[in-house]
Amino acid sequence: MKRVDTIARVRRAFYVHGWSVKKIVRELHVSRNTVRKILRSDETDFNYERSRQPLPRIGPWQGQLEQFLSSNASKASRERLTLIRIFEELQALGYEGGYDAVRRFARTWSKTRGAVTSEAYVPLYYAPGEAYQFDWSHEVVLISGVTVTVKVAHLRLCHSQTSFSRA
C-alpha cells in the first residue's frame, strides 16, 4: 500500500526536482512499476484488499482444525498447545499445507469466537444517592500573589456523573 506521503514524494521528485524514474526508484526505494503507476494516474491512495481469502489446502482440514482449536481453548493456559504444535498435529494426520494458512485460520477463528462471546453487555445502574467516587488531591494555587498548596476533595456521583470539588 502506498500512502499519500510516498505518492507526494514520488511526484515531487519527478515534477519539481526533475529526477528520472530510475533515480526515483533508487533513492526512494519504490519499484519501477509503482513509480509509473503513480505518475500516470491522479490517485492519492493506492491500496489492495483481498475480499475473500482462498483456503485451497486447508479447506478439507477446517473441521479438524476447529476441533483442535476449540479443545485447546477449553484447556488451562499451562496445558494449551501452541499453534506450531497444532500445525504439527495436523501434519501428522496428513495435512500438506503451510503454517501460515493455519495461523491465519486460527486468527480469524479466534476473532469470530471472541465476537460471539463479547456481544453480551450489562450496563451498570445506580439509584440516586446509592454510590459515589471520592478522592483527595494536592493542588498548587495562587492566592493574592502567594503560591499555596491546598488539599482538594473530589466527589463524583455514580447516578448522574455530577462532579463536586471542595478545597
Count CA atoms closer than 13 A to 116's CA, side-chain side.
6
What distance in Å separates the CA atoms of residue 124 and residue 127, rounded to the nearest whole number?
10
Residue 35's nearest CA partner among 48, 51, 50, 19 is 19
Q: How many CB atoms lie within 10 A of CB 101?
A: 21
pLDDT tens string 122-159: 788 888 888 999 999 999 999 999 999 999 999 999 88
What distance in Å separates the CA atoms of residue 141 and residue 98, rounded to the nearest whole number?
65
**AA letter at 151:** K
Domain spans of the chain, in order of start: 4-40, 59-117, 132-166
Q: How confident is the model at residue 116 (pLDDT cuts 50, 70, 90)?
A: low
pLDDT tens string 40-56: 988 877 777 777 777 77
| pTM score of the predicted model | 0.43
Residues 122, 154: contact at Cβ < 8 Å?
no
